[in-house]
A and B are shown apart, each in its own frame.
Chain A
Amino acid sequence: MNDHNETPDPVAQLLRKAGKRPVPPADMVERVRARVHAEWKQEVSRRRQRQFLAIAASVFAAIGAGWLMLQMNSSPTATLVAHLQDGTRVIAVGERVETGAGEGVVLVASPDIGSAGVSLRLAPHSAVAWSADKHVELLSGQIYVDSDTASADNHMLVVNAGAVRIEHVGTRYVASVDGGTLDVTVRDGTVRLQTGEREALLHQGEQGHLELRAPDIDRIVRTTVSPSGTSWGWVDALAPQIAIENVDLHTVLVRLAHEAGLTVEYASPSVETAAHATVLHGPMLDLPPKQALQAVLATTSFVSEPTQDGSVLVHAR
């Protein structure tokens, strides 16, 4: 049909007389979009958690039924050991979790297996299998273990890479399998590596390199790695969102710095006191921790600068 052959239309005349409808200014659009988008993301996250709880409830019900069957038939049943942080899946012993080319995933260990406070971040192109309640086999790629230092001894989660057993001693570390080699990098705390009766400790900022085919703990190759360097990029990208609404600045800075492998220092006691007294408002921070830290400070009367020893020094503008 030809556009130019249409009969003049009163609707067209009226619309032309009225002209274009007013549109909001571009800067207003961007400000409102950012705020609404943050709220939408939070709502999606809350919805997934609700769905997860519903799924978990039904799975637990199924397990309850399975337990009854077990009593009757003496057949084994699966134990739930973890769930994906976004609430889309629960993990049982014997199951694999794999990531593709896209984003990695965050797994939260179940308190029911005695690993409360332990979370795992699985990098893209990685695979793990839960071989027993507290044992994860790293099959390929990289895994980041973040344990609660306050309860480490009682909440151990062991990562196995071939014949090497990796235990956290209240720490955060990455284990990386690449071909026939294993690298373990410690962000803070201490990690114990074991093969048979032999063991070695790696401390904050250390990376240990081992051959997996015939691992010799006594011949571990040690190098130094910054706890806040660029090699932690994929880990930081999977860092949890941090709530700031009605939270004081000091608490938020410490949490963000912790996620970024940094520590917070203040230029003076008065600056620290002011940071404690500054209460923040706003949506969850959906940024990698270093960027989030700068974004938060930009809204306050404080600025920061990095120091040589891996700290972030906060002072007044």
Chain B
Amino acid sequence: MRLGTLGRKDDGDTGERQLVDRMRKGDSGAFDAYFNEYFPRLYRFVLPRVGSDPQATEDICQEVMVRAMRRIDSYRGEASLFTWNCQIARNAITDYWRARKRRDEVEVLVEDDADIGAALESLELDISQRPDEQQSRLEVLRLVEVALDRLPGAYGNALEWKYIDGLSVAEIAERLGQSVLATQSMLARARNAFREAFSILTGVEADRVAARADLT
């Protein structure tokens, strides 16, 4: 699956393994870094998959991160940390829909229900559909969020700070605790990574989508 590769072509793999190692050793700073970075991403991953139900999103995100803590010794860095959390989340989301089926006495199996199946498999659709032909403006913009969340390390945040919040490179460097030069270089890599991620998700170039009149 192409999305699974997005988080691995990064210079954040080593950083993620180190982060997990520090968490295993009881480093509170590492826990805070993990939670602050991945909880909002996980929230955005789960929310559209449970019909935008905030309570279900909270319950599932909590369950996913609790399961991740229990399995932290099994994380080997073979997938990105976010991909690993998403794999756990998919199982939790499946459980959620199965439980709803029981409560509502729905006869149809969850995998036979077109709407539920579509929700569970939405990411697959994201990949296969072409935004210039089939997708609405909102869907394209949502894919921007998905691409940002799939970027390794702090790339997604850095791009958001730069182009949406309007922070200067110096301000971003200060937030990241690194030099202006290193931040400049990182932003360039982040832009390229975003282009690649968006292209994989939508099948078209980000430059082409940005120029579409109906997105303005």
Contacts and interface: CB of A to CB of B under 8 A. Distances in A.
A198 interface: no
Given A15-B163, A32-B39, A32-B58, A22 B44 contact: yes
Contacts, number: 116
A23 B145 CA distance: 11
A1 B170 CA distance: 10
The dominant DSSP class at the A interface is helix
A44 B21 CA distance: 11
Nearest to B65: A36
A245 to B, nearest CB: 13
B206 interface: yes
A40 B68 CA distance: 9
Interface stretch (B103-111, B114-122, B207-215): B207-215
A11 interface: yes
Interface in A1-41: 1, 3, 9-25, 28-29, 31-33, 35-37, 39-41
Contact of B70 (A20, A43, A48): A43
B61 interface: yes
Contacts of B58: 24, 28, 31-32
B129 interface: no
Given A11-B206, A39-B66, A32 B194 contact: no
Contacts of A36: 35, 39, 62, 65-66, 69
Interface string A32-69: 11011101111110011000000000000000000000
Nearest to A23: B40
B39 A24 contact: yes
Interface residues of A, number: 35
Contacts of A40: 23, 31, 69, 72
Interface residues of B, number: 51
B24 interface: yes
Contacts of A14: 144, 198, 206, 209-210, 215
B159 A11 contact: yes
A37 B68 CA distance: 11
The dominant DSSP class at the B interface is helix
Given A10-B206, A10-B207, A16-B164, A1 B44 contact: no
Contacts of B184: 1
Interface string A235-278: 00000000000000000000000000000000000000000000
B43 A24 contact: yes
Nearest to A4: B168
Interface in B128-174: 141, 144-145, 148-149, 156, 159-160, 162-165, 168-170
Nearest to B215: A17
A21 B194 contact: no
A21 B35 contact: no
Contact of A39 (B54, B70, B164, B211): B70
A32 B62 contact: yes
Contacts of B191: 9, 11
B95 interface: no
Nearest to A42: B69
A39 B47 CA distance: 23
B73 interface: yes
A29 B39 contact: yes
Interface in A171-221: none
B177 interface: no
B206 A1 contact: no
A19 to B, nearest CB: 6
B163 A21 contact: no
Contact of B144 (A18, A42, A43): A18
A22 B165 CA distance: 14
Interface of B: 23-26, 31, 35, 39-40, 43-44, 47, 54, 57-58, 61-62, 65-66, 69-70, 72-73, 141, 144-145, 148-149, 156, 159-160, 162-165, 168-170, 180-181, 184, 191, 194-195, 198, 206-207, 209-211, 215-216
18 contacts: A3-B168, A9-B163, A10-B210, A11-B195, A12-B163, A14-B198, A14-B210, A15-B144, A17-B141, A17-B144, A17-B215, A21-B40, A21-B149, A21-B156, A35-B66, A36-B66, A39-B65, A40-B72
User: Which are the 3 A-B pairs with shortest beta-carbon distances?
Assistant: A18-B144, A10-B207, A10-B210
Given A20-B164, A40-B31, A44-B25, 15 more contacts: A1-B169, A1-B180, A1-B181, A10-B206, A10-B211, A11-B191, A11-B195, A14-B144, A15-B159, A19-B141, A20-B165, A25-B54, A31-B62, A43-B69, A43-B72
